[in-house]
Homo-oligomer: A and B are copies of this chain.
C-alpha cells in the first residue's frame, strides 16, 4: 500500500477541518433557520445533471466552465473514436477565452455535468413535480456548485450558494419577502451596516431608451452602466463609446446616472415613458411595503445597479456591507427562466446569498462566536487499569446528555489538563490509580481542582453548570 502521493485537495478545492466545518455550519444553520422561519422549503437536487439539461443555459462561457463526467465502458470507447474523427474535421476546434476547445467533442465523451448553479435544477424540478408542489413554490437550496474557473483568491472550483426563490407568483410581495428574509439572515449573522441596493430592469431600459441609445445597443449600454461602481463615470463613458453609443446619448445617459438620482428624480425623468413609470411604481411599492419588515431602511435605490445576468426582468437587488466593499448576495425577478422546461412562462423571483463571501466577511468582521466548541468535558484514566471506570463515567455523563470526550489511552492529569486547555474544553475529569468510583475534576475557567468526587456528584455539577449557562 505504501506510496507517495500529492496530499493536497484537487485544484481549486478545499478541505474543511473541524474548526472550519463548525464555522460553516454555524452560518448555514442561521441561514437555514431564517429561510424556514419565513416559510421557505428545503430542496436538494443531485450533484450532476444530464448534460442536455445544463448546456446552453449559461452562455458559451458557462458551457466551457461546466465540469463534465466521462462516459463509462463501451459508450466511452465509441465516444473516443467518434471524438477523434470529429477533431479531424475543419472547424471542429475553436479558440475561445480559455484556449482551444472542441465543444462538439465533449458531447461525444460525457453524459452528465456537475451542478453549475441552483436555478436550472430548480426549473427542472418545478417542471418535473408540478402536481406535487404548491402552485406558489417557495424553496431554498443550500448546496455546492462547481465551475472549472481558474482558481484565485476567494475563487474556488467548488463553492456553496444559498438560494431562496419564489416560483409561480407575480406579486410584488415576493420581492418584499425576499428583501425581508435576506435582511434577517444578514442581521442574524451579525452584519450591522449592510444595505440592499434596488433597481428595476425595465426602468434601466426606459432610461437607456430615453437617452436615445439605439435599440440594438440597449443591452450593451446596460452592461456598461453596471460597471459604474468599479470604473466610475469616465470609465463607463469609455465603455459606452467603445460599444458604439454616440456622444449625445452618452452625455444624456451619464448626466443622469452620474448625479446618483433619487427615485423621485427618476420618476419625473420617466414620467412620459409608460413601462418606465410602471417600473418606478413597482420599486416604490416594494420600498413602501418593506417599511414594516426587517428590510426597512436597508433598501437604497441605485439607478446604476444592473446585475450582470441577462435573465432578470423586474426588480433587482444587491446586498453589500459598505465597509467590506463586496457583494454579500443579490437577486431579482426573472420571469422567463423557470418555465424553460415546460414551454410556458413561470414567474419567479429569487435571492442568492454568497456563502463564501459571507464567511470571509464574517471572519474579517469578527462575527463568529468566540467559541464554537462543542464539548462539556474530557474524561481520562491515569492508568490503563482505570480505563473501564473512565468508560463507565463517560457513559453516565453522556446518558445525562453531557458532551464528553473519552481519551482512548491512559493519560496523566497534567498532560490531560494541557490537552483540555489547548482544545478549550471547559472541564477535565480523571480517575486516579486504584479509583473506580471517584474522580478529580479540573475547571478551565479558574484552574481549580476538586478531588474525590463521586460520579453522581460530577453529573450533578455538570447539569447545574449547563442550566446556569
Contact = CB atoms under 8 A, between A and B. Distances in A.
Interface in A390-410: 391-392, 395, 398, 401-409
A10 B294 contact: no
Interface in A334-375: 336-337, 339-341, 343, 374-375
Nearest to A377: B39
Contacts of A174: 408
Given A10-B49, A36-B403, A128-B15, A70 B2 contact: no
A98 interface: yes
B408 A106 contact: no
A30 interface: no
Give the one of A144, A177, A294, A408 with max B CB within 10 A: A408
Interface stretch (A18-26, A266-274, A437-445): A18-26
Interface in A80-104: 80-81, 83-84, 87, 93, 98-102
Interface stretch (A71-79, A227-235, A299-307, A456-464): A71-79
B177 A406 contact: yes
A99 to B, nearest CB: 4
Given A18-B139, A293-B391, A395-B294, A38 B404 contact: yes
Given A16-B44, A46-B15, A289 B391 contact: yes
Interface stretch (A129-137, A254-262, A276-284): A129-137
A7 interface: yes
A86 B79 CA distance: 14
B388 A289 contact: yes
Interface stretch (A165-173, A199-207, A236-244): A165-173
A109 interface: yes
A81 B72 contact: no
A405 B38 contact: yes
A18 B42 contact: yes
A387 interface: yes
B81 A6 contact: no
B73 A404 contact: no
B173 A406 contact: yes
A95 to B, nearest CB: 10
Contact of A46 (B5, B14, B52, B76): B14
B112 A10 contact: yes
A64 interface: yes
A158 B143 CA distance: 15
A10 B184 contact: no
A41 B37 CA distance: 28
Given A7-B127, A73-B99, A378 B39 contact: yes
Given A13-B48, A70-B110, A395-B294, A36 B374 contact: yes
Give the one of A2, A9, A36 with max B CB within 10 A: A9
A43 B17 contact: yes
A124 B8 CA distance: 8
A3 B98 CA distance: 28
Contacts of A17: 43, 125, 129, 132-133
21 contacts: A2-B340, A4-B341, A5-B341, A8-B128, A9-B46, A10-B49, A15-B45, A17-B129, A18-B41, A21-B44, A39-B375, A39-B403, A69-B70, A77-B102, A80-B83, A83-B84, A134-B423, A169-B409, A174-B408, A289-B387, A292-B392
Interface of A: 1-10, 13-18, 21-22, 24-25, 36-39, 41-50, 52-53, 64, 67-70, 72-74, 76-77, 80-81, 83-84, 87, 93, 98-102, 105-106, 109-110, 112, 114, 124-125, 127-129, 132-134, 136, 138-139, 144, 146, 148, 158, 166, 169, 171, 173-174, 176-177, 180, 184, 288-289, 292-294, 336-337, 339-341, 343, 374-375, 378, 387-388, 391-392, 395, 398, 401-409, 423
**6 nearest A-B residue pairs (beta carbon):** A39-B405, A13-B46, A84-B84, A18-B41, A7-B128, A292-B392
